[in-house]
């Protein structure tokens, strides 16, 4: 299931983040890739604990907390600390790869918290007309989709997907990316729950708290109770 999150970040937040990133200490992105992905990864990335990265992290995590669509689609149990990357003409692309199944999230008190990468998310920080190329191409059971969204928009997709970022030939593509461990491990079950949730909300908007809306709400929560792992 591929889900777009339009206007996850508002215009004021984007302006603040973009200003901060003008002085960002970019480094080679290869260091965060697995053995296979390292062979096809050519981009820049921020150290996860630099001030600019922390500002992006706070903005993205705060926006996710306020997004009903994100919660409905992801049913998050753990969210990996958002990272920030940049593609340009010199560091232009990330070839076809699958993300590592487990990522280790650094903890403030030391050590690491394992996060199973059920879902991947990309938050676009650059407008599409600021760069040529740079499409996120995702291949999964639903076919191949090419994604290039407005600044502030995000896309959520299965972590099992083969995906790539096509070469950037002009300008710079800035984005935040991270992974989510869901309470519901199965992508098919998450899709059914998300569809049921949306249908119930639409029914309530159109007809109010009818017996059918109450029944569908019960079905949703009973399925979630059956499938969720917390």
**Would you state the structure tokens that stand for residue 17, as one six-digit string?**
């983040």
Answer with the residue of higher pLDDT: 25 or 140: 25
Q: From start to end of the chain, where are the E strands? A: 3-5, 27-28, 41-42, 44-45, 76-79, 83-87, 93-97, 102-106, 112-116, 119-124, 131-133, 136-140, 143-147, 154-158, 162-165, 168-171, 173-182
pLDDT tens-place string over residues 134-143: 999 999 887 8
- DSSP code at position 167: P
Residue 39: predicted pLDDT: 86
Domain definitions of the chain by residue range: 3-182, 187-227
Is it the case that residue 206 has pLDDT exceeding 80? yes
In terms of CATH architecture, what is 3-182?
Answer: Sandwich (2.60)
Q: Domain 187-227, what fold?
A: DNA Excision Repair, Uvrb; Chain A (4.10.860)
pLDDT band per the 50, 70, 90 thresholds, residue 107? confident
**Would you state the structure tokens that stand for residue 211, as one six-digit string?**
């017996």
């Amino acid at each position: 299931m591929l889900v777009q999150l339009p206007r996850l970040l508002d215009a004021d937040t984007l302006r603040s983040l973009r200003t901060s990133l003008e002085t960002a200490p970019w480094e080679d992105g290869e260091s965060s890739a697995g053995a296979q992905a390292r062979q096809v990864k050519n981009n820049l990335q921020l150290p996860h604990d630099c001030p600019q990265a922390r500002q992006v992290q706070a903005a993205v995590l705060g926006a996710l907390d306020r997004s009903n669509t994100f919660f409905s689609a992801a049913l998050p149990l753990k969210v990996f600390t958002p990272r920030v990357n940049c593609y340009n003409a010199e560091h232009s692309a990330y070839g076809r790869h699958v993300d590592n199944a487990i990522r280790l999230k650094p903890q403030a008190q030391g050590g690491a918290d394992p996060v199973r990468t059920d879902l991947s998310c990309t938050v676009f920080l650059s407008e599409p007309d600021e760069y040529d190329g740079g499409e996120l191409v995702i291949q999964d059971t639903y076919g191949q989709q090419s994604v290039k969204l407005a600044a502030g928009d995000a896309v959520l997709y299965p972590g099992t997907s083969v995906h790539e970022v096509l070469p950037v030939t002009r300008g710079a593509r800035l984005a935040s990316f991270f992974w989510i461990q869901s309470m519901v491990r199965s992508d098919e079950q998450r899709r059914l729950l998300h569809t049921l949730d949306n249908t119930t909300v639409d029914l309530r908007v159109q007809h109010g708290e009818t017996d059918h809306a109450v029944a569908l709400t019960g079905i949703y929560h009973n399925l979630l109770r059956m499938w969720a792992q917390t």
